[in-house]
Amino acid sequence: EPEVTQTPSHQVTQMGQEVILRCVPISNHLYFYWYRQILGQKVEFLVSFYNNEISEKSEIFDDQFSVERPDGSNFTLKIRSTKLEDSAMYFCASRQEGISNQPQHFGDGTRLSIL
Amino acid sequence: ELKVEQNPLFLSMQEEKNYTIYCNYSTTSDRLYWYRQDPGKSLESLFVLLSNGAVKQEGRLMASLDTKARLSTLHITAAVHDLSATYFCAVVRMDSNYQLIWGAGTKLIIKP
């Protein structure tokens, strides 16, 4: 069964450094999402992406965050200058267009640890 | 603003018992999802509920949706240890591009 893949599985970074989290969505999916989950807390929406542009973003997704789909397969989340509070599990998800009863499919996540 | 509340947040139960997890949401939505998460793992889709009165069953789990009451339930029948996990409900925000708003999760521990 096709799946969403995320790399790396764990990223450790010094505060203030830039990080790029990578995702390969399911190939025939056209809607892409990033969520984060701080340890022990609920999942929070960050951003949705469709047709090569951001369609929605949350308050969490400030100027330090950006997303892009550089080559038609990868979907990346960049954090420009990381803060301690960015430490969390980041999940990428994708969804098929036009199939209203299909869920978002999630990758295994990237655990981001900011030191 | 759409808010999603789950209860209980923590549930410890014996095998073979039945229990129900509740998910309330504050504004109209026509799609609700239940996901399972094992510790340190990803989010696995369990059920998609699209309409009022929808009921779906998979093994010992059954989910239902009452859109008028803005309530979904996840019922566990004759629990077994393998069902130990955290269960999340997530509701689609109506004026969005399928943005999911999540409950806090119910951590379910089933003791043998």
What CATH number did the domain enclosing B97 receive? 2.60.40.10
> Is residue A99's pLDDT more than 80?
no
> Is residue A112's pLDDT more than 80?
yes
* A101–B50 C-beta distance less than 8 A: yes
Highest mean pLDDT among A75-89, B48-62, B98-112: A75-89
Q: How far apart are the first and last CA of chain A?
A: 37
- Average pLDDT of B52-57? 87
Q: Does A44 touch chain B (CB under 8 A)?
A: yes
Q: Burial, B48: exposed, middle or buried (Cβ in 10 Å; 0-12, 13-18, 19+)? A: middle
* A50–B88 C-beta distance less than 8 A: no
pLDDT at B2: 87
CATH architecture for segment(s) A5-96+103-114: Sandwich (2.60)
Question: Can you tell me the distance from the alpha carbon of B10 to that of A111, in angstroms, rounded to the nearest whole number?
Answer: 24
Query: In the structure encoding, which two tokens stand for residue B23, read together?
Result: 């998910």
pLDDT at A13: 95
Which member of A41, A104, A105 has the closest CB to residue B100? A104
| 3-class secondary structure, B83 | helix
> Is residue A66's pLDDT more than 70?
yes
- Average pLDDT of B22-48? 90
> Is residue A98's pLDDT more than 70?
no
* A91–B48 C-beta distance less than 8 A: no
Query: In the structure encoding, which two tokens stand for residue B66, read together?
Result: 């009452």
Q: Is the peptide bond before B8 cis (omega within 30 degrees of 0)?
A: yes
Q: Does A113 touch chain B (CB under 8 A)?
A: no
Percent residues over pLDDT 90 in chain A: 73
Domain enclosing residue B78, as ranges: 4-111
- Going from N- to C-terminal start, the domains of chain A cover 5-96+103-114
pLDDT in tens, A10-34: 999 999 999 999 999 998 888 999 9
Better-predicted residue by pLDDT, A78 or B42: A78
Q: What single-letter amino acid sits at A22?
A: R
- Provide the Cα torsion A55, B34, B54, A98; round to 10°: 30
- Average pLDDT of A82-111? 88
- Give chain A positions within 8 Å (CB) of B88: 42-43
Q: Give the chain A residue nearest B87 (alpha carbons).
A: A42
* A35–B97 C-beta distance less than 8 A: no
> Is residue B54's pLDDT more than 70?
yes
Q: Does A108 touch chain B (CB under 8 A)?
A: yes
Number of domains in chain B: 1
* A 1-40 residues with CB < 8 A to B: 31, 33, 35
Q: Does B103 touch chain A (CB under 8 A)?
A: yes
> Is residue A101's pLDDT more than 70?
no
* Contact status, residue B63 vs residue B75, Cβ threshold 8 Å: yes
Percent residues over pLDDT 90 in chain B: 68
- Average pLDDT of B72-96? 91
Sign of the dihedral through C-alpha A90, A96, A97, A102: negative
Name the least confident of A48-52, A94-98, B24-28, B45-49: A94-98
> Is residue A73's pLDDT more than 70?
yes
**Mean pLDDT rounded to a whole number for chain B:** 91
| Contact partners, residue B89, CB within 8 Å, separation at least 6 | B4, B6, B21, B23, B32, B33, B34, B35, B72, B74, B102, B103
